[in-house]
Amino acid sequence: MYLSRFLSIHALWVTVSSVMQPYPLVWGHYDVCKTQIYTEEGKVWDYMACQPESTDMTKYLKVKLDPPDITCGDPPETFCAMGNPYMCNNECDASTPELAHPPELMFDFEGRHPSTFWQSATWKEYPKPLQVNITLSWSKTIELTDNIVITFESGRPDQMILEKSLDYGRTWQPYQYYATDCLDAFHMDPKSVKDLSQHTVLEIICTEEYSTGYTTNSKIIHFEIKDRFAFFAGPRLRNMASLYGQLDTTKKLRDFFTVTDLRIRLLRPAVGEIFVDELHLARYFYAISDIKVRGRCKCNLHATVCVYDNSKLTCECEHNTTGPDCGKCKKNYQGRPWSPGSYLPIPKGTANTCIPSISSIGNAPKFNRIWPNISSLEVSNPKQVAPKLALSTVSSVQVANHKRANVCDNELLHCQNGGTCHNNLRCLCPAAYTGIFCEKLRCEEAGSCGSGSGSGQGAAPHGCP
């Protein structure tokens, strides 16, 4: 009886696990910046690379239309039904809530009946082009983690460009082109993401996949993020270590999925035929019922929390970093150049914490500095308490009072390269490092840094100084 019950529970677990496998905890790693661990020497801090959770980023964006008066309803006008282009008795009226279609309806909750959507004015000024720019801004750098999905309530446009900005809208670059005829519209051969590879994943393509035909999914346009991830993580995104490694070491790849703004350029509405029906121009317009953008705040692997306050997103920075993206070291923590965290080595990564700067150490005449392991350092004067140190070592040292040799601690003076502080007296270093603060590679002492046979954690990202 117990065996059969166990087997039933096991079978249920296997079933649930198999269902969940296609969608692993893709972005569930790096959700802690530091944790206390217990060692033989006691409790110490373990610092890790960290990042916020992936979330729906449309809750935090601002939308702008160009031209600003392109939304229908002012003045009121009639337009044709979606299913029957010759039934033109629908009305758009901005002064009546039930008949208005403002831009915010592109991001409201779905499931309402009837569905809500933004709608442009009709193509009543044909042959002048009916073109609209929809700009989505976050005033913050974000990293995309899932497909961008745009759902049209009208037909999908015959021509459209999705663009991105990395400098808050000052400059733009194309993300993807969409057209019923790529060669005619943009002088590009049509492609799909399936035609790409690891080596061409950054190629900007024109696709006809989302512009031709009127199938059940004919309202939806995708910009495929996950299909590009799959080139490195496998078709079901199971090998995330491979993807993280590529994102960590290939700057252009990481930047490809990073934006501050997105712009949807609607260049030609859905016509459905070669020629525009000039007798029924109320058939032609744009209408969008939903836009999905999923991602996370970019915090350079120095924060797990991104707060939204006063209409602004900001990382809550750890590792002695600061700034909207944790992009610099705090004051008095500039003992070495700021560096983003690293996904490597998997699964904890490298925190690359900022360390105290020289100016925070103090002046020698005002304090008695007591240093441990003096015998291992070069003493410039036998009567001096403080030995002569290299500048790079001094930057990692804090002044201790005369009762205690405070070489490191877990708040101000972090041991470098993954080392942990033991009783404020010494750093316990990973196998690849040595020195008071784990600041030196062992291979450097052996004279083998250049041999390419670096061993141990951290040797690959740092290399020989």
Blockwise average pLDDT, block size 10, the chain, 465 residues: 48 40 48 87 86 94 96 93 75 93 86 76 95 97 96 91 97 97 96 94 94 65 95 88 88 93 96 82 92 96 94 95 95 93 90 82 38 31 33 30 47 72 77 80 72 39 34
Q: How far is 182 from 205, CA to CA, in rounded Å?
A: 9
DSSP conformational letter for 63: E
Beta-bridged to residue 259, according to DSSP, are 142
Q: What torsion, rounded to 10 degrees, do the Cα atoms 11, 14, 15, 17 define?
A: 160
From first CA to last CA, the distance across the chain in angstroms is: 65
Q: How far is 4 from 107, CA to CA, in rounded Å?
A: 49
Pairing label, strands 132-144, 287-292: unpaired
Helix (H) or strand (E) holding 313: strand 312-315
Q: What pLDDT, on a 0 to 100 scale, did the predictor assign at position 411? A: 54
Q: How far is 27 from 14, CA to CA, in rounded Å?
A: 22
- Categorise residue 96: left if φ over 0, alpha if ψ from -120 to 50, beta otherwise: beta
Q: What pLDDT, on a 0 to 100 scale, did the predictor assign at position 24? A: 40
If one counts every other C-beta atom within 10 angstroms of the C-beta of residue 81, the result is 12
Write down the pTM of the prediction: 0.71
Q: Read out DSSP for 114-146?
A: S---EEBPPSTTTTS---EEEEEEEEEEEEE-S
If one counts every other C-beta atom within 10 angstroms of the C-beta of residue 292, the result is 17
Q: φ and ψ at 373, to 5 degrees?
A: 55, 45
Q: Read out DSSP for 247-287?
A: HHH-HHHHHHTEEEEEEEEEEE----SSS--GGGGGG---E
DSSP conformational letter for 147: -
In sequence order, the 6+-apart residues with CB closer than 8 A to the CB of 245 are 343, 344, 346
Q: What pLDDT, on a 0 to 100 scale, did the predictor assign at position 407? A: 61
Token duo for residue 80: 């044709």
Angle at which helices 226-233 and 240-249 cross, to 10°: 100
Q: How far is 175 from 66, CA to CA, in rounded Å?
A: 19
Contact in structure between 162 and 175 (CB atoms under 8 Å): yes
Q: What pLDDT, on a 0 to 100 scale, did the predictor assign at position 217? A: 55
Q: How far is 329 from 412, CA to CA, in rounded Å?
A: 13
Q: How far is 142 from 176, CA to CA, in rounded Å?
A: 18
Q: What pLDDT, on a 0 to 100 scale, did the predictor assign at position 25? A: 40
Only one residue has tokens 């998997």, namely 346
Q: How far is 413 from 396, CA to CA, in rounded Å?
A: 7
Q: What pLDDT, on a 0 to 100 scale, did the predictor assign at position 280? A: 85
> Of 221, 163, 227, whose CA–CA distance to 201 is shortest?
227
Q: How far is 188 from 167, CA to CA, in rounded Å?
A: 27
